[in-house]
Amino acid sequence: MRYLFDQYVFDTDRRELHRGPDAVPVAPQVFDILDYLIRNRERVVSKDDLMNAIWKGRIVSEAALTTRMNAARTAVGDCGEAQRLIKTIPRKGFRFVGAVREARTPNPLAAVHHQPETRTAALPLPDKPSIAVLPFVSLSSDPEQEYFADGIVEEITMALSRFRWLFVIARNSSFAYKGRVVDVKQVGRELGVRYVLEGSVRKAENRIRIAGQLIDAETGAHLWADRFDGSIEDMFDLQDNLTASVVGAIAPKLQREEIKRARRKPIESLDAHDHYLRGLAKIRWSNNANTEALQLFCKAIELDPRLACAYGMAAWCYVRRKANGWINNPVKEIAEATRLARKAVELGTDDPFALSVGGYALAFIAHEFDDAAAFVDRALAGNPNFAQAWSTSAWLRVWRGEPDLALEHSAYAMRLSPLDPPMYYNSQGAMAYAHFLASRYDAAASCAENALRSHTNFLLLTCISAASNTRAGRLERAQRSVLQALERNPDLHANLRNLAPFRRADDYANFEKALCEAGLSERHDAATP
């Protein structure tokens, strides 16, 4: 049976919905709801009717029912405000009120549907990394699981679209491949993308497992694969958690792949974004590498004066110069860093990366802590799956004297990106400082040691290790850390304020005193003429 209404053809035999010549992707359970409402359009359908017909009497929450009904309305171009086709009758139920014609003749779209596939001309790639999230395969006949799989894909697609440096194919285009065996190279050509994310969903008892893999659509090479498990007790929380895990894992991988591409390009063909990516690749804990990175970011700005992220990273280079005592002309360089940071947040009002990096630079260099917090909070609101913004926020909370928030944001950063080494030692470092501020010195020393195993030359980590061990009564260990810090920065005592810009005077005084008790002042005095 085919039902014709508005601009739609609803085919119950083929289980397809078309709007004009275009197929509309519909999750199986949403299709069943539409089918039931249309078949029973002469009466009001109660919630109990839907429960019995669609869920076979299983208990379903009000939120779940509302979500499915909203999806049904969306599929047919309706909404809860307009209710042109599906009307809610308060305290009674729902009714399909659109004018419907029934047709039993063969679907005129069927001939088009069964035409042999023709190879579509390849679309040009965008000027930034591009990705399509294909429908995940449900490894079960349970319609609820397939609906959940479709929801995961939709959430991942929306979450990825919040990364301003990514070009993400819309869900409706990706879902044209639902139920088809696809060649990712062909998908890449047809959608004009460089990367494809595909996956599957499997249910076992009260657990659900999501498996995903990221593929280079040009070569077919697998770049990343992982699986994520969760309890099915609250499917919507599980969906959010799995989305955050998948996005947090693949976003850093995508950026690393793009950096590799930029480094392989001949210098004469580099555009602004390529210079920016090469600058990211140069970021290291040495003065020379930091200077090279700054030059590349400045070149990116020259080629594209509105590239907010390049301003942010140029400011970040000055953050490192200040933190490591590499600044030659403090007044001039701090003014330039502040200018770059302000330009980053001004141009990047909707760019979470520019907001978080530029905002942090304003705090660390210019001590504009309140403005910095506002910009970083805006970055987190714009992209709550951006692990680097959470880590940056954690350090900002340390300098503002908010240890509980610093711990919370550090833990979330590591949860979003658990396999990224820089994310680990940066977040562990922020946690060490947060525990120090809260007078939990054993915990602070433990976090610092964990981070130092991954990054032995991180001066901030060496200092907090020394200060924490001093306060925990392990003076000999603290003294060894101070000696290591002085080897890297003989003028450490003179530069300590630049290294650790605590907003609260008491926080800085405790930090400085602990380091001096471990030998910092004596070493500095001995090295001073």
Residues 416 and 482 in one domain: yes
Cβ within 8 Å of residue 8, ≥6 positions away: 17, 18, 19, 24, 76, 77
Residues 361 and 401 in one domain: yes
Residues 416 and 377 in one domain: yes
Residues 109 and 138 in one domain: no
End-to-end CA gap in the chain: 95
Residue 308 · residue 354 · CB < 8 Å = yes
pLDDT at 118: 41
Alpha-carbon gap, residue 78 to 276, rounded angstroms: 44
Q: Which of 264, 292, 325 is the last residue of a domain?
A: 264
| Residue 144 counted as domain residue | yes
Q: Is 424 helix (H, G, I), strand (E, B) or coil?
A: helix
Element (H, E) at 202: strand 195-204
Q: Which of 113, 140, 175 is the last residue of a domain?
A: 113
| Residue 491 counted as domain residue | yes
Residues 325 and 386 in one domain: yes
Q: Which of 78, 113, 148 is the last residue of a domain?
A: 113
| Residue 281 counted as domain residue | no
Residues 401 and 334 in one domain: yes
Cβ within 8 Å of residue 286, ≥6 positions away: none
pLDDT digits (tens, 9 = 90+) for 170-187: 777 788 888 777 788 888
Alpha-carbon gap, residue 408 to 241, rounded angstroms: 16
Residue 134 · residue 197 · CB < 8 Å = yes
DSSP-H helix ranges across 350-474: 352-366, 369-382, 387-400, 403-416, 421-437, 441-454, 459-471
| Residue 285 counted as domain residue | no
Residues 134 and 13 in one domain: no
| Residue 269 counted as domain residue | no
The residue behind tokens 């032995």 is 456
| Residue 41 counted as domain residue | yes
Q: In whole angstroms, how far apart are CA 526 and each of 206, 285, 493, 514, 519?
A: 66, 27, 12, 18, 11
pLDDT at 268: 66
CA-nearest of 340, 362, 344 to 352 is 344
| Residue 23 counted as domain residue | yes
Alpha-carbon gap, residue 286 to 343, rounded angstroms: 26
Residues 106 and 180 in one domain: no
Q: What does pTM read for this prediction?
A: 0.66
CA-based radius of gyration for the chain: 28
pLDDT at 122: 65
CA-nearest of 366, 323, 361, 292 to 457 is 323
Residues 388 and 509 in one domain: yes
Residue 296 · residue 307 · CB < 8 Å = no
Estimate the share of the chain in helix, then strand, then coil, as percent rounded to the nearest 5.
Answer: 60, 10, 30
The tally of domains found in the chain comes to: 3
- Phi and psi dihedrals of 261, rounded to 5? -65, -45
CATH of the domain at 27: 1.10.10.10
Tokens of 476: 């000999």
Per-residue pLDDT of the chain (529 residues; tens, 9 = 90+): 888 887 788 888 888 888 776 678 888 888 889 999 999 998 999 988 888 888 776 777 777 778 788 888 888 888 777 788 999 988 889 999 888 887 764 444 443 333 334 444 567 787 778 899 998 888 876 666 677 778 788 888 888 888 878 888 877 778 888 877 778 888 888 888 889 999 888 877 778 888 888 898 888 888 888 888 877 776 667 777 778 878 887 887 887 887 787 777 776 667 888 888 888 888 876 889 999 999 999 999 999 999 999 999 999 999 988 887 788 888 999 999 999 999 999 999 988 999 999 999 999 999 999 999 999 999 998 888 888 899 999 999 999 999 999 999 999 888 887 767 788 888 999 999 999 999 999 999 999 999 998 777 788 999 999 999 999 999 999 999 999 999 988 888 888 988 899 999 999 999 999 999 999 974 444 333 3
Residues 387 and 460 in one domain: yes
- Phi and psi dihedrals of 202, rounded to 5? -130, 135
Work out whether the CA dihedral 191, 193, 196, 197 comes out positive or negative.
negative
Q: What is the DSSP letter of 84?
A: S
Domain of residue 60, residue span: 2-113
pLDDT digits (tens, 9 = 90+) for 340-392: 999 999 999 988 999 999 999 999 999 999 999 999 999 998 888 888 899 99
The residue behind tokens 């947090």 is 248
Q: In whole angstroms, how far apart are CA 147 and each of 34, 140, 245?
A: 14, 11, 19
Residue 39 · residue 11 · CB < 8 Å = no
CATH of the domain at 211: 3.40.50.10610
| Residue 301 counted as domain residue | no
Alpha-carbon gap, residue 519 to 175, rounded angstroms: 64
Q: In whole angstroms, how far apart are CA 120 and each of 135, 180, 181, 286, 506?
A: 20, 16, 16, 49, 66
- Burial of residue 293 (number of CB atoms within 10 Å: 0-12, 13-18, 19+): buried
Element (H, E) at 212: strand 207-216
CA-nearest of 107, 134, 144 to 33 is 144
Residues 334 and 401 in one domain: yes
Alpha-carbon gap, residue 399 to 402, rounded angstroms: 8
Residue 387 · residue 379 · CB < 8 Å = no
Cβ within 8 Å of residue 47, ≥6 positions away: 65, 93
Q: Is 351 helix (H, G, I), strand (E, B) or coil?
A: coil
Paired residues of 231 in beta bridges: 207
Residues 97 and 135 in one domain: no
Alpha-carbon gap, residue 363 to 365, rounded angstroms: 6
